[in-house]
Amino acid sequence: MKLDLSRLPVGEMVVGFLIVSLLVTFILAFTLVGSDTDVTDEGVTDVTSTPVLGSADITMGDNFFDSNDITVAAGDTLTFNLTNEGAAVHNMHIAQPDGNYSDDGVCELDGADPCSDPNAVTSGQTAVLEWEVPDAPGTVISFRCDFHPDVMTGTLTIQ
Ligand SMILES: [Cu+2]
């Protein structure tokens, strides 16, 4: 009888402990879900990236731009400093705000589209592209390498 009496409270304590454990687990689970939601909100905030101002460094490889999704500021005078770390010839050619490239082939320095100087950047060489960012927030403008226009592309999002 005494053994039964001592076992019962222990059993209740174990059951009680399990119930409390379950409650704590649920509370923590909901707390973590809440945290995840906060992280998502922060992620959404990060999507609206801080625009580059004044200048930006871009490395060109075979066949890619190391930065191909760049946020820029409307009305900014922006200088892209390009370095060709690839073996192939590359360049940077920015489309018109309507999405079209005025220069069909390799862009010309005195052409309508913003074009890197030089317009053909050999391996190891650097180039510069100065660009007056259109005062058109929300516009997304494409850029490309004229030597690899199908794979070597990027976007400039005006903010
Ligand atoms: Cu290229």
Instruction: Compute, in angstroms, the gap from residue 123 CA to the centroid of ligand 1.
Output: 11
91 CA from centroid of ligand 1 (Å): 6
Entry field: residues in the chain: 159
User: pTM for the full model?
Assistant: 0.70
Q: What is the residue-averaged pLDDT of the chain?
A: 82
Distance 148 CA to ligand 1 centre (A): 5
Q: Which CATH superfamily is domain 55-158 in?
A: Cupredoxins -  blue copper proteins (2.60.40.420)
Using only C-alpha atoms, the chain has a radius of gyration, in whole angstroms, of: 29
Given a cut of 50, whether residue 33 has pLDDT beyond it is: no
Dist. CA 77–CA 54, nearest whole Å: 6
Nearest-CA neighbor of 96 among 139, 60, 62, 61? 139
Say how many Å lie between the CA of residue 136 and the centre of ligand 1.
Answer: 28
What pLDDT, on the 0 to 100 scale, is given for residue 2?
55
| Per-domain boundaries in the chain | 1-47, 55-158
87 C-alpha to ligand 1 centroid (Å): 10
